[in-house]
Every structure is written in structure tokens, then in C-alpha cells.
Chain A
Amino acid sequence: RKEVEQDPGPFNVPEGATVAFNCTYSNSASQSFFWYRQDCRKEPKLLMSVYSSGNEDGRFTAQLNRASQYISLLIRDSKLSDSATYLCVVNAGGFKTIFGAGTRLFVKA
């Protein structure tokens, strides 16, 4: 089993749609969680840190379920510019950070 698993997609959605990505992690001792966005042939960029109580930033909402070892990212009112690969990232303590392979999103007009 991979340490961090994501549905690779691709997710193809129309503009304005709501889309949700899920991610599971295997190490129950994991301490911090993130979503990064990566555009084609570019570096990953931090989208959101995921806090225990869940957090929202504009159209983006991240949630954490420690009991189920599950993280989610919800994007509301999708824009064309949201098309990218979304990486689920888990820090298991210290410098051990595990990156998921990513979920590809295509938003179409």
C-alpha cells in the first residue's frame, strides 16, 4: 500500500462545477497535511495547509479525518484556471514528507 494515495483522475468538469478530491494516508502518526497545486511542467505550489478543524480559503475547503486517515479538498465554482494537478502531502514528523502522485483536474468552458 502506498503511504499516500490519491485518485489519479483525470477529473473533467465544466466551469462552475464543484469537485472534490480525496486522499488517504497510511501512517497514523502523521502530523501535518497539505494540498499543493502543480501546473504542467512547473513546480508544486502550496495551496493550503490542512488543519484539524478543517479550513476554508475562498472557493477551496480542506478537511481532515484523522480517525479514517483521510484528507479532502473541495473546489467550488470551478474556474478554467483551476486546471492543474493537485498533490496531497503528508508530513509524518520531522523531515519525512510524503507526496501523493496527484490528481489531475481539467475544467472546461
Chain B
Amino acid sequence: DGGITQSPKYLFRKEGQNVTLSCEQNLNHDAMYWYRQDPGQGLRLIYYSQIVNDFQKGDIAEGYSVSREKKESFPLTVTSAQKNPTAFYLCASSMPGLYNEQFFGPGTRLTVL
């Protein structure tokens, strides 16, 4: 089955800790994205990557970091510099084209204690 997987599903973090969220896809998509969703709000773009070893900041990149060492993988690190990290984090991928439809993983719900 082709798809996008994210782990863990739920993550609890103490203040001051860095945590890394995993995102893997076997759709052979070139582009991958990280979004954050807060209650009652639309998705906001954190980072995106068009190809391996390249990534770009989105609208809310401060306090986050990413890497893209393999086409299939795009992990997101939430650093201690992120002031309000409690949120639902969604990873997506797409094959660039006319419509650029994005497909999402199941998400990771991060809670800072």
C-alpha cells in the first residue's frame, strides 16, 4: 500500500526539550511538506522540500528544523525555541504538476507539559 506514515501518533514533551517527528512516504513524490494545525485555524506551512537535500522555510519556520537526506523521509524537529509547540502536526507530499494535489499522513499530536 502506498502512502504516508507519521510517527508517533501522540507525543508529550517537557518544556526545553527538542523532539523529532517522523514522516515517511512511499508514493515516490518529489515534494514534501510540514504543516501545523491549531484548533479552529487553517493549516500553516512550516517547511517544504522540493527535492533531496533542499528545503525552504514556510510561513512559521521559527523554532523548527528539517532535513531531507532521502526522498522518502522528511523529519521535523521541534526545538526548545518554539514558544508554543502544542499542536497537530501534519506531513504531506505531492508530485508537482498542473494541480499539485497534496496527500497527508495521519498526523502527530504534540503536547508540551
Check if B42 sits within 8 Å of A87, measured CB to CB: yes
Check if B104 sits within 8 Å of A98, measured CB to CB: no
Check if A99 sits within 8 Å of B43, measured CB to CB: yes
B interface, how many residues as a size bin?
20 to 34
Check if A97 sits within 8 Å of B106, measured CB to CB: no
B50 contact set on A, CB distance < 8 A = 95
> Min CB distance, B43 to chain A, in Å?
4
Q: Which of B41, B43, B56, B109 has a CB less than 8 Å from the CB of A44?
A: B43
Q: Contacts A34-B99, A99-B43 known; list 5 others, CB within 8 Å.
A: A46-B101, A91-B99, A95-B31, A97-B100, A99-B35
Instruction: Check if B78 is an interface residue, CB within 8 A of chain A.
Output: no
> Min CB distance, B60 to chain A, in Å?
13
Check if B43 sits within 8 Å of A32, measured CB to CB: no
Most B-side CB within 10 Å, residue of A34, A87, A99: A99
Quick one: which of A85-109 are within 8 Å of B by CB? 87, 91, 95, 97-102
B104 contact set on A, CB distance < 8 A = 43-45
Q: Which residue of A lies closest to B45 (CB)?
A: A97
Q: What CA separation (Å) do A87 and B102 show in the bound complex?
A: 13
> Min CB distance, A78 to chain B, in Å?
23
Instruction: Check if B105 is an interface residue, CB within 8 A of chain A.
Output: yes
Check if B42 sits within 8 Å of A99, measured CB to CB: yes
A99 contact set on B, CB distance < 8 A = 35, 42-43
Quick one: which of A1-48 are within 8 Å of B by CB? 4, 8, 32, 34, 41-46
Q: What CA separation (Å) do A32 and B98 show in the bound complex?
A: 8
